[in-house]
Structure 1
């Protein structure tokens, strides 16, 4: 696992992109993110840190580790929760709305090169602190963050809807309004932003490290380091090919 599968899957987008001549940023991000999720699922399976209910049958095991978006589970039994027709209809409407919102945001920002508000430029290769905290720079960054959040929310919701439609099981809400409803940094990272990756890193990195008696602080720092490296891998694929 550590010597072949995990590094091989991480590097797969680097080989797929030139072979299939991928240039679309959304496709590159999607392929890179998918290949980044698989190694964490492998780590989870290798170290036995998955949900206890997963081990009850081969079907549960396969469904758990083959699903990109995690299933919602009964808190008492651990069994996956079936999806109701009303929920499917509601989520279909949500996906449609998120798609239109994503298109509207990026269509509005692109003509301004994603910087609609004036921001001071000093002509140097780095940004001074005064520039970083300029109101225009802050607003531009917030708009880009909001557009990115909506885009990722749309993508994960669409995939979750497809998984639920195919399996008849309810999937989690990956993004829970992180930019508008978070009450603290811990609430943002732990309960609202990209809960899919948060779960994968927690079970694939944090929990195995805790098992070898690393402190909570050290295991948490290692998880953040892995998360940072994961984002660097994805950005590297996008920047080199897009």
Structure 2
């Protein structure tokens, strides 16, 4: 028999319980205490939450045209279910048209946007409950789809900052404190993320191809390590490239590997 116990700190009051329930952490000051919410934060957060809900609903309604991928998602406005099956077969044999490749990439990009909006909405709901207790929650996302200038910028500053904080505290910082190089600690963090998502996808998605999600996160880890090594060797690399171009190239790079994540 397994006995599940909770720390007394979790149940001592409503704010602590909500923080535990939602898994949304609060921003903390130099003293380690949660930061108080700014005046007007609740109405602003409510407006943002409702706006996110409307945007996600409208986006999904437009895409819900009865076209399904193998995981029964309706994220394929450019390729229907029959064409998706043909695409999989053509990919195996290397027989597809250039426009089909572009359409497939476009579908993957759309899927990334939908997943981003959905996850952001879920985290916003948890953050709003924390905000109601008078403390400021950590933002979930920071425009990762359109604002990321490099892979490291996306994973370190923009995508799912709640999960980023957990992995940083649980994996990256302990390894660095024990003398591991930052590049190695960073890659190990992606390995931990791969294991977590492998379990999550395996339970959540019937028909999931085991190892697919892990491959995605391991590839992202390799990209971030390579980026760090390039900047270490050439500190001024890419500084002359306008940020919009870097963001577009990063989006294209992520889209080419995103099918492993979005299915």
Instruction: Answer yes or no: is 1:163 the counterpart of 2:130.
Output: yes
Q: Which residue of 2 aligns with 1:100?
A: 54
Give how far 1:186 is off: 1.2
CA distance in 2, matches of 1:154, 1:225: 26
Contact 2:141–2:158 at 8 Å: present in 1 too?
yes
CA distance in 1, matches of 2:95, 2:37: 49
Aligned length: 187
SS of structure 2 residue aligned to 1:134: helix
When residues 81 and 122 of structure 1 are mapped into structure 2, their CA distance, relative to the original with a 3 A threshold, is closer
When residues 116 and 203 of structure 1 are mapped into structure 2, their CA distance, relative to the original with a 3 A threshold, is same
When residues 123 and 73 of structure 1 are mapped into structure 2, their CA distance, relative to the original with a 3 A threshold, is closer
One of 128, 145, 149 as aligned partner of 1:179: 145
Instruction: Answer yes or no: is 1:86 the counterpart of 2:15.
Output: no
CA distance in 2, matches of 1:161, 1:219: 33
Give how far 1:129 is off: 9.4
Question: What TM-score does the superposition give when structure 2 sets the normalisation length?
Answer: 0.61
Q: Which residue of 2 aligns with 1:115?
A: 76
Give how far 1:233 is off: 0.9
One of 215, 224, 235 as aligned partner of 2:201: 235
Higher relative contact order at CA 8 Å, sep ≥6: structure 1 or structure 2?
Answer: 1
Which has the higher mean CA deviation after the structures are superposed, 141-150 or 183-192?
A: 183-192
When residues 211 and 86 of structure 1 are mapped into structure 2, their CA distance, relative to the original with a 3 A threshold, is same
Q: Which residue of 1 aligns with 2:189?
A: 223
Contact 1:64–1:70 at 8 Å: present in 2 too?
no
Correspondences of 1:22-61 after superposition (within 5 Å): none
Q: Which residue of 2 aligns with 1:192?
A: 158
When residues 171 and 129 of structure 1 are mapped into structure 2, their CA distance, relative to the original with a 3 A threshold, is farther
CA distance in 2, matches of 1:182, 1:123: 30
Contact 1:175–1:194 at 8 Å: present in 2 too?
yes
Q: Which residue of 2 aligns with 1:137?
A: 104
CA distance in 2, matches of 1:92, 1:186: 30
Give how far 1:131 is off: 7.0
Contact 2:26–2:130 at 8 Å: present in 1 too?
no
Contact 1:81–1:169 at 8 Å: present in 2 too?
yes
Structure number having the greater helix percentage? 1
When residues 135 and 199 of structure 1 are mapped into structure 2, their CA distance, relative to the original with a 3 A threshold, is same
Give how far 1:84 is off: 3.3
Give how far 1:241 is off: 9.6
Question: What TM-score does the superposition give when structure 1 sets the normalisation length?
Answer: 0.66
Q: Which residue of 1 aligns with 2:113?
A: 146
